[in-house]
Structure formats: structure tokens, C-alpha cells
Amino acid sequence: MFKACVNRSVRLTAKSTLGPWYLSAGRNSCVRFNSSKAPGSDEIKSEIQTQLPSFDQATTATSDAVASLTDQASQVVGDASTHIGYLSSIGLAKSWWWPPELIQNVMEQIHVYSGMPWWGTIVTTTVLVRLLMFPLYVKSSDTMARNSKIKPELDAINAELMASTDMIEGQKVAMKRKKLMADNGVKNRYLAAPILQVPVALGFFSGIRQMANYPVDGFTDQGIAWFSDLTLADPYLGLQIITASVFISFTRLGGETGAQQFSPTMKNFFTIMPLVSIPATMNLASGVVLYFAVNGACSVVQTLLLRNKWFRKKLNIADVVKHAPSTNGPAKGIIDTFRENMQKAREQAERRQLMQENEKKMQEAAKEQKASKTIKIVRRSDFNKRSKK
């Protein structure tokens, strides 16, 4: 219990129909209060209960705020991804010379300016790159066709060159081969067209995989059909099966140039390898395997065009000459063929080393002979002095 003395002054003013009245009172009074219950505690308690929200209400409000912020952040990222420079802002597409970053830059340009989803961007970019490389494949197909015309003579010259151990004789055979190829319009530099596909394919593979691993905004919901998420693996292996099928098709048809003549052993090899690639690529992102499938489909279409006689005539591509297969012994398997090629390469390396040693010996002999045949001019006076001595 405690006492509290309060100097209390109450002033009340009111208006009524009878007129205003005024009451003022002031006096000093001491009031005794109970320590366990303060005056007005019930009112304070009710006010606290009505002003402070419950725990459930606070949790709900916090969740709503977080969801609102998340939506706003997603909207900001989505708006940024539709502008040029988004990929560089997240550490991708930093240059225009490195193949993966070059592919990323090209894909970003197509995605932003065309408004296509990412699956359409991958397909469009792949087709455009194949169209740009098509003239090189036309030249390569023409070179292979001209090469097939002189294949028997060229094989004989190559065998003669492989068996040569003399430097001069080897140079003569090499000149003979060069003349044969020049007379038939064979330019080996165009045979490198299929090799250029290697850095391009690696650029697509690495660039799209980086975008899927980040992941780039839109990769998770801008797929199509059964692979709506380009960052996840194809759950049905449909893209892998399509890729294997198209690769088997165009190798059976004559490669990407339509003019390659594979042996039965090589055809079996190119049939097995695409099938092995199915389990090897089953965990890759769908965006990466989508590129493989579209690129393989482009190869099939290109092969069919380059095998068409009317199309080859319009583009002035030589016709492929098919020769009868060699009947020297039974057909060899892949392992036997690989061993034979390794043995030939080893023998060729030994011959080259022997030729280099012979060339060094010939150079040393020529130097000695030149030194022994050197003529010195001596004055007559010096000669007379030497004779007197």
C-alpha cells in the first residue's frame, strides 16, 4: 500500500439548452492506492491488446512483405533481362572473340530484338550459324568430289611417298602429287570446313551450359513441349534420342558434305558412337542438348541438299565418283584398322628421321667438299718470298 497526494483541478465546461455552466474545483487530497493494482490498469491492458497484433498476424504480414519484395525483385530482373547488357552484368558475354562468350552475345541480341523465348533463340542462333558456314561446306563437298575422281592415282602416289627413304626422291614424289591435284582443281584448304565446326560446337556447348547453370532469367520457364525448363535434364531422354538418330542419319548419307565415302568399319563406328552419347549426355541441361538436336537436324538437311544432283549442278559442284572397294583380303575391324594406321604412322616417322639424318650427312659432306675446293689468291711477291724460304 502507498499514499499519493495529488493537487487536482477539474474544470468542466459544457453547453446545453439551459445555457453554459462552469464548474471548477481545486483541493489537495491524499488518496490511498493498492500496490498490486494501479489505477486504470484494465484500460491500459485493453489498449495494449487492441494496438499490438498477435503473432499469427505479424507472421502473415511479414510473409506478405517478403513475397511482395520477391515479386518486385523478380520483376526488376525480368525487365533487365530484356535489355542488351544483362548477360554482361551477371558475368557472362564479356567479349566478342572467345567462342562461348561470342555465342552468348549473339543469342542475347537475337533474344532481345526478336522477343523470342530462349528455346527459340537457341534454335534460331544454331540455324543462322549453319547458314553462314554453308558456303564452306559447299567448297569442301566440291573438293572431296574432285578428290574422289583421282583417288586411285592419289593412293598410289601416297604409298610411294610413304615408302620413300631418300629426300630427293621424296621431293619428286611430292611434286608429282601436287601437280596431279592442281590439274584436277583439288584445293585441300577447303577440307578444313568440317574442322571449323569443332570450335563452334564447343562455343555453343560451353556458352549455353554457363547460362543454364547461372541460371539466366527465363531459362527456367521458356522451354517448350516436355522440356519447359532449359536448366534441367530431359526427363524422357527425347532430345538425346533425336540427336543420336540425326547423327546416325547424316553419317550414313555421306557426312555433312554429302561426298564422304566411309568404309563399312567407319560406318559401324559412327553408328555406335551416337548411341553411346545417350547415357553420356543424359544429365546435361535441356538447353545444351537442344542445340545438339537442332545442329544434327541441320546436318541432315545439308547432307540431303549436297547429295541432290540438281542442287550440285546449280552450285557447280563436281559429281562424286565411286570406286569399287578393295578386295585385298577380308574386311578389317575397327581395332585392326587402328593398329594398322598406328603401325604406318610409326614407320613413316622412322623414315622421316632417317631422311633427316641422311640430309644432315649430305650437308656436312657438301661443306667439306666446298672447303677443300676453295681457291686462294696469292700475290707473286708473296709466292717468291715463300719459294726463297
pLDDT band at residue 168 using 50, 70 and 90 as cut-offs? confident
pLDDT band at residue 297 using 50, 70 and 90 as cut-offs? very high
* Most confident range, picked from 12-21, 28-37, 102-111, 152-161: 102-111
Cα 263 versus chain centre, distance: 31
Residue 29 has pLDDT above 50, yes or no: no
pLDDT band at residue 102 using 50, 70 and 90 as cut-offs? very high
Q: Where are the domains of the chain?
A: 87-142+194-314
Residue 193 has pLDDT above 70, yes or no: yes
What is the spatial distance between Cα 142 and Cα 127, in angstroms, rounded to a whole number?
22
Span 78-97, pLDDT tens digits: 556 788 999 999 999 999 99
Tell me what pLDDT residue 335 has.
65
Tell me what pLDDT residue 57 has.
58
pLDDT, average across residues 90-105 = 94
Tell me what pLDDT residue 79 has.
58
213 against 267, higher pLDDT: 213
Residue 34 has pLDDT above 50, yes or no: no
Report angle CA 135, 140, 142 to the nearest 5 degrees.
Answer: 95
pLDDT band at residue 250 using 50, 70 and 90 as cut-offs? confident
- Residue 223 class from Cβ within 10 Å (0-12 exposed, 13-18 middle, 19+ buried)? buried
Tell me what pLDDT residue 5 has.
43
Tell me what pLDDT residue 292 has.
95
Question: Contact at 8 Å (CB) between 240 and 291?
Answer: no
The 3-state DSSP class for residue 28 equals strand
285 against 16, higher pLDDT: 285
13 against 199, higher pLDDT: 199
Please state, rounded to an integer, the average pLDDT across all residues of the chain. Answer: 77
The residue type found at 5 is: C
Query: DSSP code of 322?
Result: P
What is the spatial distance between Cα 53 and Cα 42, in angstroms, rounded to a whole number?
18
Residue 287 has pLDDT above 50, yes or no: yes
Helix 193-213 with 286-307: angle, nearest 10 deg = 160
Angstrom CA distances, 288 to 94, 186, 233, 291, 365, stand at 20, 37, 9, 5, 62
Tell me what pLDDT residue 343 has.
76
Task: State the pTM of this model.
Answer: 0.67
Tell me what pLDDT residue 381 has.
67
The answer to which of 53-62, 122-131, 284-293 has the lowest mean pLDDT is: 53-62
5 membership: H or E segment, kind and range = strand 2-14
